[in-house]
Chain A
Amino acid sequence: MEITEQKKGSVVLLVLTGRLDAGTAGKLEERLVSLINAGDRSFVLDFMHLDYISSAGLRVLLMAAKKLKGLNGRIVLASLKDHIREVFDIAGFSAIFPTYEQQDAAVGSFQ
Chain B
Amino acid sequence: MSQTLKVTLHNRLSELERVGEVVESFGETHRLPPKVVHAVTLCVDEVVTNIIGYAYADQADHRITLRLSLQADELAAEVEDDGKPFNPLDAPEPDLSLPLEERPIGGLGVHFVRKLMDGVEYRREQGKNLLVMKKHVSA
Chain B nearest Cβ from A65, distance in angstroms? 6
Q: Report yes or no: B111 in contact with A90, Cβ–Cβ below 8 A.
A: yes
- Contact residues of A with B, CB < 8 Å? 19, 21-23, 52, 54-56, 58-59, 62-63, 65-66, 69, 83, 86-87, 90-92, 96
**Closest Cβ of chain B: how far from A23's Cβ, in Å?**
4
Task: Name the residue on A nearest B102 (C-beta).
Answer: A66
Cross-chain contact A66 with B101 (CB below 8 angstroms): yes
Contact B111 A91 (CB under 8 A): yes
- Size category of the B interface is 20 to 34
Cβ of A58: which chain B residues have Cβ within 8 Å of it? 108
Q: Known: A55-B109, A87-B112, A91-B111. Is A96-B100 also a contact (CB below 8 A)?
A: yes
28 CB < 8 A contacts A-B: A19-B20, A21-B13, A21-B16, A21-B20, A21-B45, A21-B49, A22-B13, A22-B16, A22-B45, A22-B53, A23-B14, A52-B20, A52-B41, A52-B42, A54-B45, A54-B46, A55-B46, A55-B108, A55-B112, A59-B105, A59-B108, A62-B100, A65-B100, A69-B100, A87-B112, A90-B115, A90-B116, A91-B96
Whether B17 and A23, one on each chain, are in contact in the complex, defined by CB atoms closer than 8 angstroms, is yes
Contact A54:B111 (CB < 8 A) given known A21-B45, A69-B101? no
Q: Is B97 an interface residue (CB 8 A)?
A: yes
Chain B residues closer than 8 Å to A87, beta-carbon distance: 42, 112
Besides A19-B20, A21-B45, A55-B106, 6 more A-B contacts (Cβ < 8 Å) are A21-B20, A22-B45, A23-B15, A54-B16, A54-B42, A96-B100
What distance in Å separates the Cβ of B70 from its nearest Cβ neighbour in chain A?
21
Residue-by-residue, is B11-47 near A (CB-CB < 8 Å gives 1, otherwise 0)?
0011111001000000000000011001001100110
CA distance A91 to B13 in the complex (A): 22
Q: Which of A21, A23, A58, A59 has the most CB of B within 10 A?
A: A21
**Cα distance A21–B17 in the bound complex, in angstroms:** 8
Contact assessment for A54 and B101 in the assembled complex, using a CB-CB cutoff below 8 Å: no
Docked complex Cα distance between A59 and B20 (Å): 20
Q: Please measure, in the bound complex, the distance between the C-alpha atom of A96 and the C-alpha atom of B111, giving whole angstroms.
A: 17
Given A62-B103, A83-B38, A90-B116, the answer on whether A56 and B97 have CB atoms closer than 8 Å is: no
